[in-house]
Structure 1
Amino acid sequence: MKFLATILLLVPAIAALEFPQCPSPSWPTGPGSEIRAPGVPRDMARILSGISDKRIEAIIKKLTTFHTRHTLSRQDSPTIGIGAARDWIKSEYDSFGGNLQVSIQTYLQPIQAPRIDRPVNISNIVAVLPGYDSNRVYVISGHYDTRASDVMNPDIEQHGANDDASGVAAVMEVARVLAKQKFPATLIFAAVAGEEQGLYGSNHLAQTLKAAGIDVQGMFTSDIVGSSTADDGVKDPFSVRLFAQGIPLFQSSAVQAAYAGVGGENDSPARQLARYAASVASNIATGMKVRIVYRLDRYLRGGDHRPFLIAGYPAARFTEPNENYAHQHQDIRVENGKQYGDLAEFCDFQFIQRVSKVNAATLWNLASAPGTPKNVTIDTIALGNDSKMMWIAAKDDNLKGYEIVWRPTTAPDWTNEIWVGLVNEATVDLSKDNVVFGVRAVGKNGYKSPVAFPLPSV
C-alpha cells in the first residue's frame, strides 16, 4: 500500500485554464422518470452527458503548443518540451478538484538501447480517485510523449495530436467528470511518458503497483483515438477497436498450458475484460460500438497495456477503427501536395468525446460492481455429465451473490446465465465438455463484475 499512500497525499489545487463551458444537462426527476438512454443507469448517463468535446479540443490544442513532448526533450522550460507539458497536465488535474488526489511519479531511466541514449527522468502524472475498497484498482491511461520520423530526434517540432494527446485528453476528461464521484473501487487516471521510447512510464507504473501488492483488476490504455478516417477517406465514426490478448503470453508456461489445454484460448482475463467493456459501453449513452479485436495489438506496434499484462494484470488497448499513417510518427511537412504530421486539424473531437464516454462507462460499471471472482476452478477429478465450479467468496458488503454463465465453444460471448446465490461453489447440470463456463459476481446495486474463467482444479 506504500504507493497508494504516497499518491493519495493531498496537494494544493492550481487554477485551471479557462475552457468553454458545456451546458448543464436537463434530466427528468422523481418517481417514474425514465432514463434518457434506455438500459443505461441514469446517474451514469448523466455523467457521460457532461463529457465535452470542446474541453477535449482545448486540451489537445494546448498539448500541441509545447513544440515537442519527446521523452528526451527539455524538462526545465515553462513553455517548451516534455517538462512543460508534464507541469501543465498536473495543473489541469489539480484544477478538477473533487476527490482526486494528484501526484507526479518520477524515476531516473538509465541508458537503454536503442532509444534511451542518456539517463533521463521519466514522469507519470497520476490522479487517484480513492474508493471504499482501496486495494481494488482500475487504471486508464494515455501517453503524453511524442515522436517524429526519427524517434531519436528530441528537438524537431512534433505535435502528437492524435498520438497520443487524444488519449491523454480522453483520460483527463473522464477524470474531470468522475472527480466528485465515490465508488467502491479505486480509479487511477494516468498520463504516462516514455511510450515511444519503449513503454517505460507505463512499465514503471505497473511494476510500482505490483510491488505494492495492489490488486489491479483492469487497465485500459487509449492510444491513437483521435479520428475514424483512414488514409483512403473511409470513415467509421461510431466504433472503436479494443485490442485484447488471448492466451496470457507473458505468464508462465504452466498458465499458458492450462488455458490452451482446455480450449481457453479466447478466455484470458484480458478477453473477459474486453467483453465486459463491450457489454457496458456499447450503447446510446456512449454512441459507440466497442469492436473487440482478438490480438495483443496491431502488427509492428505496441502500447502501454503491455507492461500491465507482463505484470499479470488484465489490460487492453482502445484505438481508432481506421488509421492514417501520414499523420503518425511523421515530420511535419508538405510533400507532393500532401500534408504530413500529427496535427490537431486531423482530429475529430466529437469522436474522441465518444471514446471518452466509452472509457467512463466502463470505469463506472467496473468500480460500482464487486470485484472479479478469485481462484475460480472447475472440478476435473472425475468424469461426469454435470459441472462443478468453485471459487473464493469475497468479503464485500455490496456482494449479493454469484452467477454461472456459459456459451457454446464457438460463440464469441456469453449466451446463458444462472443465478446460484451467495455461495462459493455450484454444480450445473451441463457437461463442461460441450460449453465454456464462467463465474461473475453480482452486487446488491445490480452491477456485475467481469467474468472469471475456471481453470481445471487438478
Structure 2
Amino acid sequence: MSKQRKAWLWLVIGLGLMGLACSLSTELPPTLVPSTPIATITPEQAFAPPTLAPQPFAITPPPQAPAATPVNIIRPYNLDQVSTERMMGNINTLVSFESRHVLSTASTTTGIAAAERWITNQLNEIRASSPFPDIRIDVYAHQFQYEFAGQQLIPSNVIMAVTGTDAAAGVVIIGAHYDTMSQAWTTGDNYQPGANDNASGVSAVLEIARHMVMQRNRATLVFVFFAAEETGRQGSLAFVNDYIKVQNIPVVAVFNLDSIGSPLGVRGERFDNKMRLYSEGPNDGANSRQLARMVHFAALNYLPNMVVEVRDATDRSGRWGDHMSFSDVGYPAVRLVEGADDPLVFHTPRDTVDRVDPLYLQRTTQVALAAVELMANGPNPPTLKPLRPSATDPASLTLEWSYSPFCASYIIALRRPDSLVYDRFFSVEGGALSVSSGEFKNYGWVTVGCVDTQGRLGRLAPELPVPTS
C-alpha cells in the first residue's frame, strides 16, 4: 500500500476515533452505506506514459508580454449558486448567541456551547443532503484542553470530513474560527456579536460545504470550525498536533477564511472588488506562497472582476490566524481576508450584522470556492523538466513536461523574480509536450498547469527557475 493511500486511510481512522471519543452528534446510522473501499478506486494516473512519441511544439509569444489575462476555461457552475440569503441567515443566527467567547457561560441559547451545537446541526444537515450514499461523510467534534485566564478549558473544534474519490489528490482543508473576543479579553459573557469576525467566515465555509457535498470530489475535503483562535489559535494548533502531524495526513491546501464580509475601511472607503491573501514566504520556494498564487490564478480566471491582492506577509502586522498553525510546520496554507481592516469595529459590540455586505460576502466566498474547486477537482499538474537551450534557436529556451491523458490543454505561467503573482500566461494544446521561446529569459520562474476535457483548471506544478546564463 502506498504512503498516500495509508495516509488517506489514517485520516478516516483518526477522525473516526475522534468521533467515538467526543462526537456532538448521534452515532452514524447503521444503515449508512460505507464509501467505496480505497482498493477498488482507480485514481487518476497523473503521469501516465504517452501512447505516442512526444512531438516538439514551438510557438513564438508576442514580443511584448501583456498583463496576465484569463485563459479559456469553463467557470464552475456552483459559483453562481452561492446564496447571500442563506449566508446572512447563518450570520444572524451566530450573532444571536451574543458571545462565542471560550469563557462564555454554557447555555442552550447563548455562548460558545450553543454555537458549537448549532454548527454541528448544520453539518449534519449538509451531510444528509448529499446525493451520494457511497461517499463517506463524517461529522465530529475534536475536544482539546488548554488554560486561559487561570481556567482549564475544554472547547471543541467541529469537523466534517468528505471522502474523495482519488487518494492521489490528497486532502484539502477549509476552515474558519467560530469563537469571538472583546476588548476585555478575559470577559466571556459581555456582548460580542462577531458578525464579521468571524461569523462571515463560518457562513462561507458552511456555504462551500453545501455545494461540495453535491458532487464527487477527487480530493478528500475537511471542513473545520476552530475554537480558541482569538486566545492564541489553540484550536487549530491542537488539530494540527493531534491529527494532521500524527497521522501524516497528505494535506495539499489549507484555506483559512477570517473576516471576509465587509468592504469598508476605517474611514468608510469601499473596497467592493478587492480582498487580501496572506501566506508564509519566502516568495520563491515556499509552498504556502505558491498556494497563494494558485488562489490568485483561480480568481483571475473564474472571477476576473474580483481583485485578490497577494501580500508578502504571513498575516497582518502583529496579528495571527489559524492558517499559521499549518504553515508553521510546513503545510501549504493561506488566509483570505477582506480588502481593508477597521480596527474601530473588530472585537467591539459594533461588529454587527448590518456591517456585513451580502454581495461582497458572496464575492469573497466565490473566490474561496473557486480555489477549493481548483485544488479539489482539477487535474494533477505535469512533471516539469528543467529548462534547456533550444536545439534549433540559440536565443530560446525549451520547456518540457510529462504526458497526461486528462489534459486537453496546458497553461504556461511566467513570473518575474520580484513578482508575487504570475505576470504572463499562454496556453498550448494537449498534444504538445514542450514549448520553445526566447521570452522565458525575461522572467525568473515558470510553471505549467493543465485544463481537462471538461474545462476545469488544475493545480500548477512546482515552479522552475529560469536559467540566467
Displacement, 1:89? 0.4
Displacement, 1:164? 0.5
Counterpart of 1:205 in 2: which secondary structure?
A: helix
Aligned to 2:463: 453
Aligned to 1:54: 85
Matched, 1:324 2:346: no
State percent identity of aligned pairs. Answer: 27
Aligned equivalents of 2:72, 2:229: Cα separation in 1: 37
Aligned to 2:44: none
Displacement, 1:406? 3.2
Contact 1:149 1:329 in 2 (8 A): yes
Aligned to 1:307: 325
Deviations along 1:65-114, one digit per CA (max 9) or x if unpaired, are 11211123234x22122111111001011112215724233233233xxx
Displacement, 1:428? 6.3
Name the CA shift for 1:400/1:350 in 2 (closer, same or farther; >3 Å): closer
Aligned equivalents of 2:304, 2:436: Cα separation in 1: 36
Contact 1:439 1:453 in 2 (8 A): yes
Counterpart of 1:141 in 2: which secondary structure?
A: strand
Name the CA shift for 1:444/1:50 in 2 (closer, same or farther; >3 Å): closer
Instruction: Give structure 2 stretches of 5+ with no counterpart.
Output: 1-8, 20-26, 31-69, 389-393
Aligned to 1:132: 165
Displacement, 1:389? 8.1
Instruction: Give structure 1 stretches of 5+ with no counterpart.
Output: 14-36, 248-264, 333-340
Of structures 1 and 2, the one with the larger relative CO (CA 8 A, separation 6+) is 2
Contact 1:100 1:127 in 2 (8 A): no
Contact 2:299 2:306 in 1 (8 A): yes
Name the CA shift for 1:390/1:314 in 2 (closer, same or farther; >3 Å): farther
Aligned equivalents of 1:150, 1:377: Cα separation in 2: 56
Matched, 1:230 2:265: yes
More deviation in 349-358 or 142-151? 349-358
Aligned equivalents of 1:373, 1:272: Cα separation in 2: 16
Aligned equivalents of 1:62, 1:401: Cα separation in 2: 45
Matched, 1:11 2:11: no
Displacement, 1:286? 7.8
Aligned equivalents of 1:438, 1:217: Cα separation in 2: 20
Aligned equivalents of 1:79, 1:455: Cα separation in 2: 56
Aligned equivalents of 1:167, 1:400: Cα separation in 2: 35
Aligned equivalents of 1:230, 1:100: Cα separation in 2: 43
Aligned equivalents of 2:203, 2:278: Cα separation in 1: 20
Return the letter of the residue paired with 1:54. E
Displacement, 1:309? 0.3
Contact 2:345 2:351 in 1 (8 A): yes
Displacement, 1:409? 2.6
Contact 1:287 1:354 in 2 (8 A): no
Contact 1:131 1:186 in 2 (8 A): yes
Aligned to 2:416: 408
Aligned to 2:101: 70
Aligned equivalents of 1:421, 1:244: Cα separation in 2: 32
Contact 1:404 1:420 in 2 (8 A): no
Matched, 1:185 2:219: yes
Counterpart of 2:444 in 1: which secondary structure?
A: strand
Aligned equivalents of 2:151, 2:381: Cα separation in 1: 42
Normalized against structure 1, the TM-score is what?
A: 0.75
Name the CA shift for 1:39/1:196 in 2 (closer, same or farther; >3 Å): same
- State how many pairs are aligned: 395
Contact 1:230 1:324 in 2 (8 A): yes
Deviations along 1:216-244, one digit per CA (max 9) or x if unpaired, are 11111111112011121100111111112
Name the CA shift for 1:152/1:246 in 2 (closer, same or farther; >3 Å): same
Name the CA shift for 1:118/1:78 in 2 (closer, same or farther; >3 Å): same
Name the CA shift for 1:65/1:366 in 2 (closer, same or farther; >3 Å): same
Alignment of 1:111-260 (within 5 A): 111=147, 115=148, 117-134=150-167, 136-207=170-241, 208-247=243-282
Contact 1:90 1:102 in 2 (8 A): no
Aligned equivalents of 1:221, 1:72: Cα separation in 2: 23
Return the letter of the residue paired with 2:459. S
Aligned equivalents of 1:175, 1:432: Cα separation in 2: 40
Aligned equivalents of 1:185, 1:397: Cα separation in 2: 19
Aligned equivalents of 2:304, 2:150: Cα separation in 1: 43
Matched, 1:437 2:445: yes
Name the CA shift for 1:183/1:435 in 2 (closer, same or farther; >3 Å): same
Superposed CA RMSD: 3.5
Counterpart of 2:319 in 1: which secondary structure?
A: coil
Matched, 1:271 2:285: no
Aligned equivalents of 2:183, 2:386: Cα separation in 1: 51
Contact 1:57 1:349 in 2 (8 A): yes
Counterpart of 2:142 in 1: which secondary structure?
A: strand
Return the letter of the residue paired with 2:137. Q
Matched, 1:294 2:329: no
Contact 2:412 2:446 in 1 (8 A): yes
Return the letter of the residue paired with 1:323. D
Return the letter of the residue paired with 1:168. V
Aligned equivalents of 2:104, 2:386: Cα separation in 1: 53
Counterpart of 1:106 in 2: which secondary structure?
A: strand
Displacement, 1:51? 1.0
Aligned to 1:2: 10
Normalized against structure 2, the TM-score is what?
A: 0.74
